[in-house]
Structure 1
Amino acid sequence: MNFNFINLQPYSNPQYFIYLLIALLPIIIGLYFGKRLKNYEAIFSLVFLFLIFDGNHWQEGINLIIYLIYEFLITFGYLHYRTKKDSPNKSWVFNLAVVLAILPLTAVKILIQMPKGTVPFVVGFLGISYITFKNVQVIMETRDGVIKQIDPLTYARFLLFFPTISSGPIDRYRRFKSDYEKVPSREEYIGDLQLAVRYLFQGFLYKFILGWFFGTYLLPKIAMRGLIAGNAIGGLKLSWWVVAYMYVYTMYLFFDFAGYSLFAVSISHFMGIHTPMNFNKPFISKNIKDFWNRWHMTLSFWFRDYIYMRFTFFAMKKKLIKNRIRLSQVSYFVLFLIMGFWHGLTWYYIVYGIYHATAICINDIWLRFKRKHKDQLPSNKFTQWFAIFLTFQFVCLGMLIFSGYLSQLWFGWQ
């Protein structure tokens, strides 16, 4: 059956939510009366996953099934190795498991950069990055001894949790399992429903009104005027169009992605699962590190916990860098370069990663200077608002780099 006459990609249009909310009704009624309908939830998720990968996307669906079998073999193979009484804790086995878990995502990132027609088959599928992050997290926490048992059905539901499968937020297995195995009281669930409705309407405001205004209505006009101005008169007036594009693109990216994330959190709450929030007022950040604690938080915290901290501990253990300040700086560059490569093997993503790593290192130098001279430096409402203003400019410039618009302008000028 082909439903392609309706766009059933996650949270793509208001009509999509009609079908989604109708399908959610049994789950809502069940939880209200103190029952979690696990079998219905599984069927519900599988049906909507099928509709995502129906029609022209069927090959992605096949890739998802193959990928899940592959990742299950790695995860449960490593779990079996870790839980055997006589098995030594060999670090190379853990490293191999992590590399194998990341390998499909790495291959996809490389193959999608190949010229069209070079790869004779469809690679990857919607949500491969976020499922990979979940899987790697479980392998790492299994190695740490935090996770000692994994129920296959719960794990499958965790990886394939429908509201978050395509673009997050990135949940943690133990937190998800705790929610999934618990049936909230009626009072708790009514609170969940109130939050779900609030996040749903806030998501509509962000994605379908503000996101549409900045992204669909305003951004193409500014982008085109910038390209025309670049071809006609060069850099003087063009610079103002670049500045306009920088701010408008930043607003579009925030409202579109924050709106999507609110939808995912909303639907999760309807299902009694407290998926963590992804954004926390990022534009009131007082410095660039504060920004990354507020922007795409589940991804930021995942990279912090499983790349930055792991690399730092490894480098300390091996005594690769003895100076702790230099070590933290190198760790930031490793972190943001990997984040840049994850977004894509394109120069502006790599520059974006270097830009943010440099900004955080400079921010750390400034914070250390402030601590040494705190009695000599002013601290009042003006300095706090100025810090917010300055951070916002740094963030917007980074978003301009990330957008790839500078690359379009460069080729437009040639």
Structure 2
Amino acid sequence: MIPYSDFTFFYIIGILLIPSVILGLVGRSSKKYNMFISVIILALIFGVRMGDFSINWKSFISITLFTVFQVLLIKCYHKYRMTKNTASIFVLAVILGILPLVLVKVLPFFDLHVFGFLGVSYITFKAVQIIMETRDGMMKKENIAISELIYFLLFFPTVSSGPIDRWKRFDKDFKTIPTKDAYREMLYKGINSIFLGFFYKFIVAFLLYNKVLMYLPDRTFGNLNFFEGHLMYMYVYSLHLFFDFAGYSCFAIGVSYIMGVKTPQNFNLPFISRNIKDFWNRWHMSLSFWFRDYVYMRFVFWMTKKKWIKNRFVVSYIGYFLLFFLMGIWHGLELHFVVYGLYHALLIICFDKFERWNKKKKIWKDNKWTHALGIIITFHVVCFGFYIFSGTLF
């Protein structure tokens, strides 16, 4: 069963969350009940095929073995970190943590489909995050209960496509019993988020796909004019991608709030970004911030510490290429995903160079006209990036 893909899923979680709402409204803790219903819903997500309601044993076994592996890895490294802090062991733990994800991405490229399941990427990011924060000493004294660790990794509202939460923030919500008034506000925000998700995904995204994209001509260079085939597709595809994914995120956030967890936002009006850096602070924020904190920042810190390259701008630009290259191949190993990642790396670097040049020349002044022009330019270059991402250009 795919989360939030049809109304059956909403009927099921709607019924199961009734006791959670009642407990929250009377100021009681619902975390044990939420953990209980999570087991049921996770079993439906990973163990049931919607077509004939048969058991999907491959997915069920894959998620079980993967979770056991990640939990053991985290607990073993945590125990090791309590007494030692060897860099080689840390690197080994990170490599082992991301190895299943690498195999899931690489093996199908060779036509090998050994294992895989919905949400493997997002669970991996959470697990690796905990290992890295343990290395940094942020969790050295914590003894995370296995049940709580599994609940964090497999938190069902966000398990398939995020948003990616952070352990410290999630654990705080998990262990806090909101007051009646606080829960009423969370319930109100959660329900609003779910209704916004319905509007985004089942109305706007549905209409964009079924009434526009489906009726565009075959997108090959020989069978279409420029506007109808390429330009129109580029903009409509970009809007559809946003509303479909933002709708899903609204559902995940809304259900999380009802369960007493304030899952972070994933989108913040990305199409009004005034530049490409601003865009990546608004688009798929939990993922972009994860890559920024755990890939880019650590790479720059490591290179600066080693002093192999003294020019800090060159180090930063190499970091950007690494960051967006990994974000590109995370979507897949196909050429258009790689080019999409490198395209955004080039945009970020060019903007950074322009920004530093403009500080000296003062040509591009900050006012309402340049702000509006920046939004227009950013919108077009971002849409072209999504056109690359779609695979249509190649």
Contact 2:196 2:247 in 1 (8 A): yes
Do residues 15 (structure 1) and 8 (structure 2) align? yes
Structure 2 counterpart of 1:100, which letter? L
Tell me the CA shift for residue 114 of structure 1. 2.5
- AA matched with 1:173: W
Counterpart of 2:51? none
Q: What displacement does 1:240 show?
A: 4.0
Contact preservation (8 Å) 2:71, 2:149? no
What is the TM-score normalised by the length of structure 2? 0.95
Q: 1:378, CA displacement in angstroms?
A: 3.9
Contact 1:184/1:272, CA 8 A, preserved across alignment: yes
Matches within 5 A, 1:173-212: 173-212=167-206
Name the structure 1 match of 2:393.
406
The match for 1:287 among 257, 275, 279 is 275
1:138 to 127, 130, 141: 130
Aligned residue number for residue 125 of structure 1:
117
User: Corresponding residue for 1:66?
Assistant: 65
Bigger shift: residues 154-163 or 32-41: 32-41
After the TM superposition, which residues 231-310 of structure 1 pair with which residues of structure 2 at under 5 Å, given as runs? 231-232=222-223, 237-238=225-226, 240-310=228-298
**303-312 or 11-20: bigger deviation:** 11-20
Q: Which residue of 1 aligns with 2:368?
A: 381
1:204 and 1:283 mapped to 2: Cα distance?
A: 20
Q: Determine the C-alpha separation between the residues in 2 that align with 1:133 and 1:210.
A: 30
Q: Are 2:45 and 1:46 equivalent residues in the alignment?
A: no
Question: 1:304-349, CA deviations, whole angstroms, 9 ceiling, x for partnerless residues?
Answer: 0000001001111111211011111110001001111111111110
- In structure 2, the CA distance between the partners of 1:254 and 1:377, relative to structure 1 (3 Å rule), is closer
Asked whether 1:37 is paired with 2:24, we answer no
On the 8 A contact 2:193/2:250 being kept in 1, the answer is yes
Summarize deviations over 1:337-393 as a string: whole Å, max 9, x none: 11111111111100001100000000001111121122x544422211010000000
CA–CA distance in structure 2, aligned partners of residues 90 and 399 of structure 1: 42
Q: Structure 1: give runs of 5+ residues left out of the alignment.
A: 1-7, 408-414
Q: Is the 8 A contact 1:226 1:238 kept in 2?
A: no
The residue number in structure 1 matching 2:56 is: 57
Identity of aligned residues (%): 46
SS at match of 1:113: helix
- SS of equivalent to 1:167: coil
How many residues align? The count is 386
Structure 1 residue 158 and structure 2 residue 136: aligned? no
Inter-partner Cα distance in structure 2 for 1:379 and 1:292: 20
Shift of 1:36: 1.8
- Match for residue 412 of structure 1? none
SS of 2:262's equivalent? coil
Q: Distance in 2 between matches of 1:254 and 1:309?
A: 27
User: How far apart are the structure 2 equivalents of 1:274 and 1:225?
Assistant: 43
Q: CA deviation at 1:225?
A: 3.8
SS of the residue corresponding to residue 294 of structure 1 reads coil
Question: Is residue 2:165 matched to residue 1:171?
Answer: yes
Q: Given that residues 203 and 263 in structure 1 are in contact (C-alpha distance below 8 angstroms), is that contact kept between their aligned partners in structure 2?
A: yes
* Root-mean-square deviation over aligned CA pairs: 1.4
Structure 1 residues 113 and 371: CA distance shift in structure 2, 3 A: same
Superposition deviation, residue 56 in structure 1: 5.5
How many Å separate the matches in 2 of 1:401 and 1:285? 20
Q: Distance in 1 between matches of 2:291 and 2:358?
A: 27
| Residues in 2 aligned to 1:244 and 1:287: alpha-carbon distance in whole angstroms | 22
Work out the CA distance in 2 between the residues paired with 1:379 and 1:44: 51
Q: Secondary structure at the match of 1:112?
A: helix
Q: CA deviation at 1:61?
A: 1.2
Question: Aligned with 1:26: secondary structure?
Answer: helix
Q: Distance in 1 between matches of 2:346 and 2:137?
A: 35
Distance between the aligned counterparts of 1:315 and 1:321, measured in 2?
7
For 1:395 and 1:58, how far apart are their aligned partners in 2?
40
| Whole-angstrom CA distance in 2 between matches of 1:191 and 1:153 | 28
Q: Give the AA of the match of 1:21.
A: G
Q: Determine the C-alpha separation between the residues in 2 that align with 1:378 and 1:156.
A: 50
CA contact (8 A) 1:169 1:276 kept: yes
Cα pair 1:127 1:166 within 8 Å, conserved: yes
**Does the 8 Å CA contact 2:105/2:332 hold for their aligned counterparts?**
yes
* Partners of 1:198 and 1:217 in 2: CA distance: 27
Q: Structure 1 stretch 318-327 or stretch 278-287: which is displaced more?
A: 318-327
Report Cα offsets for 1:169-227 as digits up to 9, x if no partner. 000011000000010011111110110111011000000000101123311222x3434
